[in-house]
Amino acid sequence: MNAPSSLPQFHIVGFTGHRQLDQPRLIQDVLRAILEQLRREGPGEWIALSSAAAGADTLFARQALAAGLAWHVVLPLPPAEFRKDFSPEEWKTVEALLPEAGQVRVIGENGARDDNYLDCGMETVNGCDVFIALWDGRPARGKGGTAEVVAYARELKKPLVIIDAATFEARRENFARFAPHDHNLAYFNALPRGPEAPAVVAEAAVAPAFERITAFQRKVDLAASRGAPQYRRLIASIVVLHVLATLIAAAALAFEWHFATVPWLKLFCLLGALGVALALRYAGTHHHWVHCRLAAEITRSALATWGLPRAAPLFEDLDLAEFRQLTRTLHILHRRAAAAQPVPMAAFKQSYLAHRVDDQLAYYRHRLDRALPLLNRLRLGFWIATVLAILCTAAYALHLGELRPGTEELLYYFLPIALPVVAAAFISLISVYDLQRRVARYRETEHLLESSRSQITFSQTWTSLERIVQKTERALLQEVLEWHAITSFAESH
């Protein structure tokens, strides 16, 4: 597979405007100039996003299509209901245009009609990078009007281009917030290529976009593996070094050690702990490792669902600004491939079970086999250290009699200080390694995957299969997001 390992960047330009137009040709010229300017300023592919109301919406859609942009449409109501708001002549225009849309999304199946129109406008704002509004500057004539949508875009500080409906002059707002380049995607694209590997889906699904995403996933996964700083082990080393410093100090007091090396040993432990902490805090490798690992898992999930006839909206709830462009790119490429090259359901099921469910089952079982014994050992160490500390402290309190030299210092002075510190260290290591949560999550995920395997095996329709696959992928992504939140929070401290 010699596919490129970089992913394209997509920009989305949204639009809203009035239905009644006085001079459509002048508006068309203004829109053409705005779209050309945006394409010069923002590298990558631009996609137009709007509703399909007669008037400004259809004018914008046709201008975008003429300029070579893909057009995605957001409808406030299903087409059969939407058409009731148009005259027969107007609906013919809309109906002829809809087949040219690369995606049709219906916002509201139920609810008040005006509410759906407002939601449609707000979703257009939410989904775009730059928002264009043809507006006369007057208040909205009803809920969901242009004025309300513009007010919402301003509230979000969305980059705006407002075309005056009377003078046709265009002015910009908030364009300092427009990001022509996505730095995170550029960082991932600049990583060196990873090793080649055969495709892991049915042959019918192998398309250039799939090969490209596979190459991208392998290189970010490789970067994450090579850059992993063994974060938990480094944090554990800080705990151990502090414990050693405490034990040295306690031994020096209990046994009256006056060697010149004792304070130096303690100082070495403390400086070592400080050095590890500073390295974790300021080296920067941890940040790149976390980002590469999350990017690899997001891309792995996209590849696992490749072949579904409808691109699964796996990332709708993934509100991480650093990965917004990546998830958008993955979704757009998948949707286009699904429309152009469908995959038989039997081939998809076989591939998904073998290369996703079974692989993840093996992974989580392996992780559980490693985490559970470690949790049990650390718990045992805590209880042993705690019980011994209690016994030593009780013996000192009762003062059971004279002991041999050395034994008294050990039993009465050193161990009552050292053992509580060791017990606290065991508890700290359980927290550092996040063992209790991990064991619980590994068991839950294992159960989920086993259940998903059974359900997928007996699924007979795409609808049921898609529902199970999306549920499975969201659960797997949730585990990754929990890990991301924990490691990112720990990094900030």
Q: Mean of the pLDDT values across residues 95-105?
A: 91
Return the DSSP state at 167: T
If one looks up domain 10-177 in CATH, what number appears? Answer: 3.40.50.450
* Most confident region among 99-108, 300-309, 367-376 by mean pLDDT: 367-376
Residue 394, pLDDT > 80, answer yes
Tokens of 78: 């299903």
Q: How much of the chain exceeds pLDDT 70, in percent?
A: 91
pLDDT tens for each residue of 255-281: 888 888 989 999 999 999 999 888 777
pLDDT at 478: 84
Tokens of 276: 């590890």
C-alpha closest to that of 169 among 376, 26, 315? 26
Q: What is the dihedral of CA 469, 474, 477, 481, to 10 degrees?
A: 180
Residue 343, pLDDT > 90, answer no
Residue 205, pLDDT > 50, answer no
Q: Mean of the pLDDT values across residues 374-396?
A: 94
In the structure, what pLDDT confidence band is assigned to residue 204 with cuts at 50, 70 and 90?
very low
Q: What is the pTM of this model?
A: 0.81
* Number of neighbouring beta carbons within 10 Å of residue 363: 15
Residue 315, pLDDT > 70, answer yes
Residue 368, pLDDT > 60, answer yes
Tell me what the pLDDT averaged over the chain comes to. Answer: 87
pLDDT at 488: 62
Give ranges for CATH 3.40.50.450 in the chain. Answer: 10-177
- Residue 263's contacts (CB-CB under 8 Å, 6 or more residues apart) are none
Tokens of 122: 């707000």
Please state whether beta strands 130-135 and 10-17 pair in parallel, antiparallel, or not at all (unpaired): parallel
Q: Mean of the pLDDT values across residues 154-169?
A: 93
Q: Mean of the pLDDT values across residues 70-81?
A: 91
CB 69 within 8 A of CB 132: no
pLDDT at 491: 52
pLDDT at 232: 77
pLDDT at 283: 61
* Most confident region among 102-116, 262-276, 308-322 by mean pLDDT: 262-276
Residue 202, pLDDT > 60, answer no
In the structure, what pLDDT confidence band is assigned to residue 286 with cuts at 50, 70 and 90?
low
In the structure, what pLDDT confidence band is assigned to residue 474 with cuts at 50, 70 and 90?
confident
Q: Helix 285-304 vs helix 324-340: angle between axes, to the nearest 10 degrees?
A: 20
Residue 109, pLDDT > 60, answer yes
